Amino acid sequence: MDCSEPDCDRPAAVELHIPWAENRLVCAPHARVLGRRDGIVADPLPDRADELLE
């Protein structure tokens, strides 16, 4: 499964739980940026945890 961000073809590694919108599956770089916003919870996908270390 690919990252849900536009123009990104990296594999999804994190599910973002967003209170004001639908949850999104994103790659590790996008999770690092988007997960800093207040209220968003970043939940690593179990089978993709190794990508978070890169």
32/28 Cα distance (integer angstroms): 6
Query: Which residues, other chains included, contact 26 with Cβ-Cβ below 8 Å and sequence gap of 6+?
Result: 3, 4, 5, 8, 12, 13, 14, 15, 16, 34
The predicted structure's pLDDT at residue 48? 60
pLDDT tens string, the chain, 54 residues long: the values are 899 999 999 999 999 999 999 999 999 999 999 999 999 999 998 876 555 545
3-class DSSP state for residue 48? helix
State how far Cα 6 lies from the chain centre: 13
